Amino acid sequence: MHWIKVGLRLISRKFPLVANESIISDRFTFLSDEFRSFPQGTPVLIRETDKATMIHFFPCSVYRNGSIEPGNLLSETSIPVQLPKPSVETGLKGPEIIIISLFKGMASAIEGKIAAEIFNAIFPNNSSNIEQMLSDLKENIKNIFRQELDLQTIDQLNLKIQGVIRYMQQTYNLQKKSSSDAAKLENLLITENEKMYTELMSLLVGERYRAKGIAYLVVGANAHLAILQELAAVTMQSNPEISKAYTANYYERLGEYIDALRNAINEVHQNRLNYLSPCQESTIRGVSTEHWWFVDNWANYTSESYYNTYSWDDKISEGNGYTINAKIKANRARDIYFNNIFHPTIVNDLQIYVDMKNTWVNALQG
């Protein structure tokens, strides 16, 4: 019973219900066979809603001989069994929630090596919802970077991303279901592979666009990696040498996208740091009136003023005596604000991008 209560709390925290979403059932069970890195007997909690199915593993324990026993210590993991639909279809509100849902789905797809299935499992299946998703990408970038790509560039990116999604959904995946002809399937992918790199990704990995287009970089890269995975998979039996070449190209592009995303994250981070001003000094001089303060231009926050006064509370211990120094007090307050509020906010806003980078790094190493 303890595991069920713990699992319900964890899965509710990691996969909060969205607007108009209802729980159909919660089932507690165990793996009958080994699954990925989880051994047979790993406790599992499965939640089904009217919009998605999620599963939570308890990898630190296994079920043996009718009881739960300690198992191999692995990191706590929750993954969607049925990859969640983008929030434009599930009623989620807010670009941050939408992007998190989208990125988690793409990370699961890359880890699971489901290749072209990413286009059906992750992306919306009609034009209006794809357009909404692309609008949310733009909004996410605005929220974390405060700088936007020009409208013409955004339109070009949107058209290219929407084009490859619709092509893979409506042409390639439908052909794959009706034909096992490897050469035919390869030909369907070759043009899209070339277009993805020369017309989209070569633009997004460059210094000019990678930070301002960071969300597009992630979506475009995952789409391109899925196509390369699919090319390697469909040619594996018919032409192993070609398949190896596609696999090598996959890892080459993956390494390039890791570098681009790492640089983009660093550039966004540095851009955000510039919004916190150094401590500023009043233009009014004099021991009793001089004061200092700082400003967080990101949050439109102005600190209280720190004065030089004769008040005992304003004295700062220094060596064997005391000094009255407003600048020292202001700098200390700024450091506390930076460590407790300002920098953690930047880290939180960039976390989904750091998580995606780590997913790519694991794929490169695996």
Q: Is the pLDDT of residue 1 over 80?
A: no
What is 148-168 written as a DSSP string?
A: ---HHHHHHHHHHHHHHHHHI
Domain span at residue 123? 83-274
What is residue 254's predicted lDDT score, i.e. its pLDDT? 93
* pLDDT tens, residue by residue, 104-122: 888 877 777 777 888 887 8
Q: Positive or negative, the Cα torsion across 304, 306, 312, 313?
A: positive
* pLDDT tens, residue by residue, 187-237: 999 989 999 999 899 999 999 999 999 999 999 999 999 999 999 989 988
* pLDDT tens, residue by residue, 332-346: 889 999 998 899 989
d(CA 337, CA 74) in angstroms, rounded, equals: 35
**Cα three-residue angle 270-274-277, rounded to 5 degrees:** 150
Do residues 222 and 263 lie in contact, with contact meaning Cβ atoms separated by under 8 Å? no
Q: What is the pTM of this model?
A: 0.68
Same structural domain, 148 and 233: yes
Does 338 fall in a domain?
yes
d(CA 336, CA 355) in angstroms, rounded, equals: 27
Same structural domain, 77 and 89: no
CATH code at 186?
1.20.190
Same structural domain, 270 and 152: yes
Does 362 fall in a domain?
no
Count: domains in the chain? 3
d(CA 250, CA 60) in angstroms, rounded, equals: 34
pLDDT mean over 49-78:
53
Same structural domain, 163 and 37: no
d(CA 62, CA 84) in angstroms, rounded, equals: 27
Same structural domain, 125 and 226: yes
Same structural domain, 188 and 337: no
